[in-house]
Structures are given as C-alpha cells and as structure tokens.
Amino acid sequence: MSGTDDLLVEAAELAVEIGHAHPPILLDVRWRLAGPPGRGDYAAGHLPGAVFVDLDTELCGPPGPDGRHPLPDPAVLQAALRRAGVREGHPVVVYDGGDGMAAARAWWTLRWAGHRPVRVLHGGFPAWAAAGLPVDTDVPAPPPGDVTVRPGGLPVLDADAAARLAAADTGVLLDVRAAPRYRGEAEPVDPVAGHIPGAANLPAPEYVAEGRFPSVALMRDRFAAAGVTADQPVGAYCGSGVTAAQTVLALHLAGRPDAALYVGSWSGWLADPDRPVATGPEPER
C-alpha cells in the first residue's frame, strides 16, 4: 500500500492527534442518500471540535444536467470550508456515519480543490463511538479559515471522456453500482437502468465492507479482476459520484493515485437522452 498514512486514520490514532497543540480540523459530513440530512446526527453527538459540512449543499453543486451531485461552485465550497475553519496547508480529517461514502466524497472534493492534507476516519463515527472515545454536542465556532479552492487537484472525467475510456482497449471505466442496476434489471434512483457501453461492473461491496477497506492485496486483486492494470488509465462512476469517490480512494490505497472520477456518473449520463445505454452482462475484454 502506498501512502496510506495520508489517506486514512484510525480512531485511536485520531484521539491522540486531537489532544495535540495543533490538532487536525474535523469535518462531520454524515449524509444519507434518501435523507434525512446528517445535521440531526451531528446535533445528537459528534467528535469534539468537529464542524458539520453538508454534502448536498456545500460539498456538491445543485442537481441538474451534470448529475445529482455535481462539482461544487468553487466560491461556495471555499466559503463553506473557511466557515469550518479550514486553513491553508493544515491537516483535515473527515468522517461520516460509517459507510465511508460521504467521507470519501469529502476527501475527494478537498483534494480536487487543491487541499492535500486530508484523511478519512476509517470506520467513521461508529468506529469512534465503539472505541469509547468522547462525544460532544457543543457546536464549535472555529476561527475563520483561509483556504483557497484551486480546482484540478484530482483528475475528473466528463461524459465524453468517460465514454472514450469505457470504449478503449487500453484502460477501464468501472461502474461500481450493484449488478442489477448495471445490467438494466432494476433502477431504484435514476429513471433508466443500464450502464455506459463498455464499462466494467465492480460493485462496491467487492472492495469495501461497511466503510472499512480490506488489505491492499485483496483490493488489487479485485481491481485486477475487473481489468485494472498498473499502467493503463482507470476511472470510476456510480449513480451520482459519491460511491465512486470511495472507489477512487480505494484505488489510491491500491497504488493508483491517477484514478479519475466521473462526477456526473449515471445521473449525469442520463441527462442527455442521446447518450447510449447498454444492458446485460459485462462486455468481453
């Protein structure tokens, strides 16, 4: 595994760090796809000193032709991060309700925005609580941060680039939704089931379980079985770019920091009715 020390942090390790003179900034990004918003969870108890940041309205743009969770407006994101006290070059730790998806999207967004020192609390809030570590209900008022959002820190695919990657013989586009959604048999969220022609299906539970990543060797095996090689381009998409951000994090852990995210994902792909929809099993490679 390459660079795991700047990607994940365990609860016990974080408990030590927040006792230091200059602790990391903690962002609570708890979120559920079908609601309700995570702010209620935050109010009921959060890591001491953590500030709540809303995935839907602050870390992502409003739903539209670019999908259900498009890239945020840089000015809106910068204002939210500064309100949360994020300072230029200062470490940040993000955590969610335990499945790791919202935290991964927050991690990805901050790195895309040019803020590199950000890690995910492995196992999220449940891991912290299970360790018997302190939980707070006070809402902190941190000094305003000075972070500057500089988009471009991580690679992004648009629809055309995703289509090219899916169709290429040298590279792979991973569709990490459940197999029935990929095959076109069921679609609980978006209006049409199916997948981008040429994409390979690797459902998220095959490389992460309940927000915790398995060994690097296992992740590399899973990605290799889906067609990911060490020297060819790789990208990922899901329904709206949240689960796929966790895929990108897993690929980073497995040694592929060049992995690209199709932020619009399936919801963005379907915004143009002229884009093709494939159904059925994976294509042969």
Q: Annotated active-site positions, please?
A: 238
Distances, alpha carbon 64 to alpha carbons 15, 61, 211, 242, 267, in Å: 40, 9, 28, 16, 9
d(CA 245, CA 186): 22
Closest CA to 84 of 118, 112, 61: 118
Preceding peptide of 36 cis, ω within 30°? yes
Tell me the CA distances in angstroms from 75 to 35, 64, 172, one per residue in order: 26, 18, 33
Crossing angle (nearest 10°) for helices 243-253 and 101-112: 70
